[in-house]
Amino acid sequence: MNHLVRIISDDDGEEQDNKNDWHLVDPGNQCGPATLCTGEFFGEGESNCVFKTKQQLKGGVTCPECIKKIKIYQGVKL
């Protein structure tokens, strides 16, 4: 299940240019919910961001920077 977030305005109240992009919530971040691309925290008690979340079984990420990072991680051989 992919956990996604759309940041509408950041912690400072600035409206985001990419407010229609869906970011992957970083599954490896143990400190709290944050975007994969920038590490921006969101959620109650985390920041003052205005955001929307959703879950999808597959896909859903539209943020170009998140997609770049996902492709880098997919290239890692274990």
- What burial class does residue 18 get, using C-beta atoms within 10 Å of its C-beta: 0-12 exposed, 13-18 middle, 19+ buried? middle
Please give the tally of structural domains in the chain: 1
Identify the domain containing residue 60 by its residue range. Answer: 2-74
pLDDT for the residue 25: 98
Q: Is the pLDDT of residue 5 over 90?
A: yes
Identify any residues that bridge with 23 across adjacent strands, giving them in sequence order: 5
52 within 8 A of 3, measured Cβ to Cβ = no
Q: What pLDDT, in 10s, does the model give residues 8-63?
A: 998 888 898 888 899 999 999 999 999 999 999 999 888 999 999 999 999 999 99
pLDDT for the residue 8: 94
pLDDT for the residue 37: 95
Q: Which residue has the tokens 């759309």?
A: 6
